[in-house]
Each structure stands twice: as C-alpha cells, then as structure tokens.
Amino acid sequence: MGLLEERERAARQHVEALQAELREAEAVWERFVIARETVGEVLAESHGHVDVPVAVSDEPAVPVAAAGPGSVVPVWRDGLAAAVLAPDYRRIMEILTGHGRSGAGAMDCRQLAAGLGLQPVPAKVEGVRSKAKRLAARGWLAEERPGMFSVVAGRVGGS
C-alpha cells in the first residue's frame, strides 16, 4: 500500500507540473495571438479599412469581427454581445445560459464537455476547462467555486 501511495503521489505531482506547464504555454500562445491580431488591426487601419461598431455608447466602439477558431476572447463590457466570441466559446455560453435559466446553477467542466457533445475524458474536459477559465478571466463567466462555472447576469450566450 505504501508503494502505491508513493506512486500515486508522484503521478499527482507530475500531473500538477504538466498542468502548470500547460497554463504557461497557453499564456505564451495567447500573447502571440494578441500580438498577431494587433498587428493585423494596425495594418488594416493603415490601409484604410474601418471596422463597424457593435453598439453606440459613451464606451469606445467595439468592432464587429468575424470570430473564428483561435480568436482571442475579449474582455466583456456593456454592449458587447456573445456573437464576438469564437464558436466554441459561444457554445459554452449558450449551454450555461440554458442551464442557468432552468435554475440548475453552476456546471462543472465534465458537464460542459458532455453538453458540447464531447467525451468526458480528461483531455477534452481540460480543453473545456481552459476555455471556461478564459471566459471567467475576461468577465463573461463566474467561477462560483473552483471548477464550477455560470453565466454572469447580463451576459447572455445567445445574444
């Protein structure tokens, strides 16, 4: 039993180290994505392309951009609709919005993965967790308890 516990502890430490490395790699990747999009915006502006604003308000205009896979999740602010999110992120918002309307409360990443039609295996669940954490960090979702996500009031998934 002692050997099993020791191996379990070593495996857990290895997983935690890999998760930390994954978070670090995602942060680096995200910085590159932001840099590439910023350069694209600057180049588009210098060539006379102008984005159409999403909403008119005292806030700076929010450009309408075709969100696709690999898009950066913008920080939520008034007037910003879920339509600016990439499809995977919009689906997470829709699932949590529907779940919240039913009065069921927050969902964990396994439930979200199943709602997305993914197998609830660790690789898929971690991908969903990464996306949900990113949405929470940008103000779209609330992480009520570690790993339990819900839509913040006013941020509707289908809008």
Asked whether residue 4 falls in the same domain as residue 29, the answer is yes
SS3 breakdown of the chain: % helix, strand, coil, rounded to 5? Answer: 55, 10, 40
Structural domain count of the chain: 2
Which residue in this structure is represented by tokens 């932001």?
34
Q: Which residues contact 147 (CB under 8 A, 6 or more apart)?
A: 108, 109, 129
Asked whether residue 156 falls in the same domain as residue 78, the answer is yes
3-state secondary structure of 145: strand
Asked whether residue 7 falls in the same domain as residue 75, the answer is no
109 and 102 Cβ atoms separated by less than 8 Å: no
Asked whether residue 33 falls in the same domain as residue 73, the answer is no
Asked whether residue 105 falls in the same domain as residue 37, the answer is no
Position 69 scores a pLDDT of 53
Task: Write 40-49 long-range contacts (CB < 8 A, 24+).
Answer: none
Position 12 scores a pLDDT of 94
Pick out the chain residues at pLDDT < 50: 49-66, 158-159
Which residue range is the domain that position 28 belongs to? 1-50
Asked whether residue 23 falls in the same domain as residue 72, the answer is no
Q: pTM for this structure?
A: 0.55
116 and 128 Cβ atoms separated by less than 8 Å: yes
Asked whether residue 46 falls in the same domain as residue 69, the answer is no
Position 5 scores a pLDDT of 94
Question: Is 123 part of any domain?
Answer: yes
Position 11 scores a pLDDT of 95
Position 40 scores a pLDDT of 77
Asked whether residue 71 falls in the same domain as residue 146, the answer is yes
pLDDT tens per residue across span 64-86: 444 555 567 888 888 778 888 88
